[in-house]
Amino acid sequence: VFDLGVGYEGTFSGIKLAAAGTYEFGDGEGTAGPAGFGTDDISAWNLGAILGFQGFDLAGSYGSWDDSGLTGVEGDYWTAGLGYSAGPVGLSATYLTSDLGSNDFDNVVLGAEYKLAAGLTPYAEVSFYDFNSTGTTYDNQGTTFLLGTQVAF
C-alpha cells in the first residue's frame, strides 16, 4: 500500500487558506474474507480546504474509496465545518456524511473550548450520529458527550 499527500497553507491580506490532498493505492490478494467478502485492490483519494477570516474558519473535504479493499464495495464521504474563536473561547460545528456499499453514516458535532492558561484548554463536545445499513437491522443512532482537557508542554 502506498500513500501520497500534498498540502499548502498561507495567509493573504488577513485571509487564511489551507488545502490538502491525498491518494492511496495498493494491491489486494483476492482471497475470501469474513461473511463471504473478498479482498480487492485499494484506491482512495481525499481533498480538503480551510478558509479563515477574522476568527471564523470554514472547512470542507470530499473523499472517495474507488476500491475499498472489499470486492465490489465503493464509497465516498464529505465534511463541512464552521469554527469561531475570539480570545480564549472557541466554538465549532461540523457535519460528516459517508456511504460505503449499503451503509450510510451521518454525524453532527458541536464543540466548545476555553484556553484557561498557556497549554491548558478544557473542552466539551456533543455528537449526534445515525447509521443505517439498507436491508438489515444493524441501524443505530445516538448521542455522545465528551469532556476533556488538552495539555501542551
Q: What is the per-residue pLDDT across 10-65, written as a single tens digit (0 to 9) for each? A: 999 999 999 999 999 888 766 655 555 556 678 889 999 999 999 999 999 999 98
3-state secondary structure of 34: helix
Provide the pLDDT for residue 138. Answer: 78
Q: Residue 54: which region, alpha, beta or left (left: phi > 0; alpha: psi -120 to 50)?
A: left
Beta strands in 27-139 (DSSP E): 39-53, 56-70, 75-86, 89-100, 103-114, 120-133
Of the chain, the percentage scoring pLDDT greater than 70 comes to: 88
- The CA distance from 47 to 74, in Å, is 17
pTM of the entire structure? 0.82
pLDDT band at 130, cuts 50/70/90?
very high
Helix H or strand E segment including 140: strand 140-151
**Average pLDDT of the residues of the chain:** 90
Closest CA to 42 of 29, 25, 30: 25
Mean local confidence (pLDDT), 88-113: 95
